[in-house]
Structure 1
Amino acid sequence: MGFRHDAKRMNVEGDRLSSLPDDLIHKILSSISLQQAIETSSLSSRWRYIWTSMPYLDFSTEGFSKLNKFSKFVTNILSRRNNQVQLSSVKLSFRGKATQVFVKRILNYAFSHNVEQLTVVSFALKDDIPINLFSSQSLKHLMLTLLIILDDDDLFSHCPNLKNLTLNCCQTKICLSEKSGESEESHLNICHSKLSNLTLEDLSCYVVNVVNVEAPQIKNLIIRKCYVDVVNVEAPQLKNLIIRKGYSSVNLSADVLSLEKVDLTISYRLNAQAIVGLLQQFRSVRFLTLNLEIVECLSSSVELISHQPSPFATLKSLKIYPARKELHPKANVSTLVENYFLDSSPGVTLTMVLREVHAPYSMLVHICAATYLLL
């Protein structure tokens, strides 16, 4: 009796799932591995071919002992998939060389089926990926992780409708000088007329020296944990800038006049002169967030700003917080530094965020914020 009851309940639940529309089932299947999604075909006749029309494909070499087995798996999947269905998203995570046949096969298939979002993750930096493979009119979102890419101004020009680009732990192919035999300075050039959002993460001067960004339509730029020598930005429509950790020098072109929000966190290799040079570029910023270490660094070098007028004529909000938990809650901010930030904007809202650590547990237990409206 109990067995029949359980079987009946399973059939009812199966029927409920089968009654869902295809797009919702596809969404559910996208949360599991491709192999698991294929295994659902045995659930019922309704599910037998449902995976073949999924607009999401997630390939990974994990779970395959040999790459030739994975390559056969890829060939099998792509040959059985419904070719009439376009692709929304494709992710490829692989080990080994980027020049492997299955990499090209997956990318070509994705672009021929009008993929809009593409993520490529390499588990090891081996060989540069043939960037000519990235040619698509449909691609709007691209994320590359642990890939070697060419130092080329036309790097992403073959994807004219690209809106969002994320480069994580990537490096450029360093060429040897013909004369000296020494490696030349490595440049990463990002030039794109329609790019709106750019994220640079975990880039190091050991693999990339200079990043050049030329994107007239870019609105949002995130530079996170980057330790390159310099990031040059030519983006007149830039509105939001986030710089987290790292110590890269950032140069904004003179025509960046639309900047509204800046979130700046620098806690490594603090250089007061470099910080002043960076802050002087934020003339149009309205909402500014800084870590306390920056302010204290300026307070110890007030001679750099004592004769300079405040550049923040449009500032509406200034938020200061300590980046490190072990900092004492009492901030060491000189009057000259306060004036530097606030004198040109009398209506600024100043928020000081203070972290308190409760002994003996050495953990964050309280955040206290003091807000002042300066009239």
Structure 2
Amino acid sequence: MYNCSKLRTKTEGVEWKLDVCRKNVTTLLNADRISSLPDELILEILSCMDAKLAVQTSLLSTRWKLLWTSIPCLNFFSRSFDSSLKVGNFVSNFLSRRNHQVDVSSVKLDFEVGSQEILAQIVNYAVSRNVQKLLVIVNNKRLLFQDASLCPFSSKSLKKVTFSIPCRTPTTTWDFPALTTMHLESVEFFDNPVDLFSKCVNLKNLTLEKFAVFVQVFVISIPQLSNLRLNNGKNSIIVNVVAPQLENLTIRNCSIEKLNAPQGLTSLCYEDYHPPQLPRDCFNSLNKASVNFHFSRITKPYKEIDARETINMLQELHSAKCLTLNLDIVELLNVYGGLLADVTTYLDAAIKMDDASAKVPLDTYSSTIFESWIHAMQVF
């Protein structure tokens, strides 16, 4: 006969163990594990949050009350406010109560409501606290600034800057000796930026996005520049790039008629609706070049002038070890194959067609070769 007392003892033992497990799980679930983290790690977490949310964590406990005052990365997003007045009040209170002994490593401003004065207040405070990274984005087109006076003209600590602001560039020189990377978007140039960048002696990476130029000849002169990107520019008729250290040049949809670039360029990426005029013997160091033209031929055939200008441009890129062309260019040159008979320049390169994903070695420009390209495209 089975011993009921032993069975009851075993059952009670199992229940006791389950009860202990439940208590342990409940303790773990109720524990404030984030608060047990060191301050340095918590500050890293708060640095990824909007400044308003970071301040609200002060209500969690006594320990959290002042943690937000020491975050090194400041993120201000105006979408959490419904008026410029509330944005301004919050910014003033935040900056005045922040721990001023702690430097600011980065600042991100993303404004839909606000004013130029509020942005200037934040930027000037960040510069006074040795900020290294500064990103300013204005998403409201109605907030059109007459100039970029909110941008500090002097900072010994700034290394990376992004300004996406509908404004004119300042007439005063930017004094950023430590700056290495700059991204400007929605900016208008009414004067050449020669003096603007003259004190950015370590600037190596520059991107101009959705910019407009109101001078006949647009000059970009930066001695240490190695990477330059020009995207979606307006009125940039003649562009002179004076940068002896430049290695990579990318230009997309800028409607440039004449482009002057420094010798020593190793990579060129060019995309537009028509070819620019290039200087002779300035692209002899190219390792790779990518050329994409989107000729307008919806209601009319290819133009001979486009073919001649394209051939002239490709002649100047003959030193490229790898040249990438899009289908529009290949079809254009196939239509005007007779023009190729007058070209005697040889290519020590291989041309890769974007649309065909095929490489064809070139001995010379000839209509026969372009016919073989068309055949290769049909195969692929």
TM-score normalised according to structure 1 size: 0.70
Structure 1 equivalent of residue 290 of structure 2? 263
Cα distance change of structure 1 residues 12 and 341 upon mapping to structure 2, 3 Å threshold = farther
Partner of 1:75: 92
- Cα distance 1:109–1:48, how it changes in 2: closer, same or farther (>3 A)? same
Q: How does 1:16-31 map to 2 (within 5 A)?
A: 18-19=37-38, 21-22=40-41, 26=44, 28-31=45-48
Matched, 1:321 2:341: no
Separation of aligned partners in 1, 2:211 and 2:181: 17
1:113 positional shift: 4.1
Q: CA RMSD in A?
A: 4.0
Asked whether 1:92 is paired with 2:112, we answer: no
Q: Find out whether 1:106 has 2:122 as its counterpart.
A: yes
Whichever residue aligns with residue 135 of structure 1, its letter is: D
1:11-60 Cα distance to aligned partner (Å, 9 max, x none): 354256x24854x852x545443333443444556655554444433334
**Residue identity opposite 2:89 in structure 1:** K
- What are the equivalent positions in structure 2 for 1:297-336 lying under 5 Å apart? 297-313=332-348, 315=349, 317-322=350-355, 336=366
Q: How far does residue 63 in structure 1 lie from its aligned partner after superposition?
A: 3.4
- Taking the aligned partners of 2:43 and 2:330, their CA distance within structure 1 comes to 52
SS at match of 2:295: coil
**Once the 2 structures are TM-superposed, how far is the Cα of residue 146 of structure 1 from its aligned partner?**
1.5
Instruction: Look up the equivalent residue of 2:227 and give its one-letter code.
Output: N
Query: CA separation in 2, counterparts of 1:83 and 1:169?
Result: 37
Indicate conservation of the 8 Å contact 1:155/1:190, yes or no: no
The structure 2 residue matched to 1:283, chosen from 296, 318, 338, is: 318
In structure 2, what is the equivalent of residue 119 of structure 1?
A: 135
Are 1:240 and 1:262, in contact at CA under 8 Å, matched by a contact in 2?
A: yes
Q: What SS does structure 2 have at the residue aligned with 1:251?
A: coil
Counterpart AA for 1:215 = A
Q: String of CA shifts for 1:162-201, please: whole Å, max 9, x gaps.
A: 22111111224x4xxxxxxxxxx55543211111212111
Residue 14 (structure 1) aligned to one of 34, 45, 61: 34
**For residues 375 and 108 of structure 2, what CA distance do their matches in structure 1 show?**
42
- Structure 2: which 5+ residue stretches go unaligned? 1-18, 150-169, 297-301, 359-363
Which residues in structure 2 correspond to 1:1-375 (within 5 Å)? 5=25, 8-9=28-29, 11=31, 13-15=33-35, 18-19=37-38, 21-22=40-41, 26=44, 28-43=45-60, 48-94=65-111, 100-123=116-139, 124=141, 125-130=144-149, 131=170, 132=172, 134-152=174-192, 153-172=194-213, 174=214, 185-205=215-235, 208-224=236-252, 226-230=253-257, 232-247=259-274, 249=276, 251=278, 254-269=281-296, 271-313=306-348, 315=349, 317-322=350-355, 336-337=366-367, 339=369
Shift of 1:294: 0.8
- Over the matched positions of the two proteins, sequence identity in percent amounts to 31
Q: TM-score, normalised by structure 2?
A: 0.69
How far apart in 2 are the matches of 1:341 and 1:29?
62
Give the residue type in structure 2 aligned to 1:9.
L
Distance 1:97 1:263, change over 3 A: farther
**Separation of aligned partners in 1, 2:188 and 2:234:** 13
1:340–1:352 distance in 2 versus 1, CA, 3 Å: closer
Deviation sequence 1:312-358 (CA, Å, 0-9, x none) = 22x2x4210229xxxxx9xxxx992564899xxxxxxx999969xxx
Question: Which has the larger displacement, 268-277 or 30-39?
Answer: 30-39
More displaced stretch, 250-259 vs 151-160: 250-259
Task: Read off the aligned partner of 1:211 and give its amino acid letter.
Answer: V
| Conservation of the 8 A alpha-carbon contact between 1:163 and 1:196 | yes
Cα distance in 1 for residues equivalent to 2:111 and 2:258: 29
- Seen in structure 2, the aligned counterparts of structure 1 residues 150 and 90 have a Cα distance that, compared at 3 Å, is farther
Note if contact 1:147-1:170 (Cα within 8 Å) is conserved in structure 2.
Answer: yes
2:147, 2:242 → 1: CA distance?
Answer: 23
Q: How many residues align?
A: 322
Q: Which moved more, 1:231-240 or 1:39-48?
A: 39-48
Q: Distance in 2 between matches of 1:256 and 1:159?
A: 26
In structure 2, do the counterparts of structure 1 residues 101 and 318 end up closer, same or farther at CA, with 3 Å as the change threshold? same
Q: Which entry has the higher C-alpha Rg, 1 or 2?
A: 2
The CA distance in 1 between the partners of 2:277 and 2:312, in whole Å, is 9
Displacement of 1:227 in angstroms is: 3.5
Following the alignment from structure 1 to structure 2, what is the Cα–Cα distance between the partners of residues 46 and 337?
77
Deviations 1:120-146 (A, max 9, x none): 333325423233374322222211222
| Alpha carbons 1:223, 1:244 under 8 Å: kept | yes
* Structure 1: runs of 5+ lacking an equivalent: 175-184, 324-328, 343-349, 356-367, 370-375
| Worse-superposed segment, 122-131 or 45-54 | 45-54
Q: Quote how far apart the aligned CAs of 1:297 are.
A: 0.7
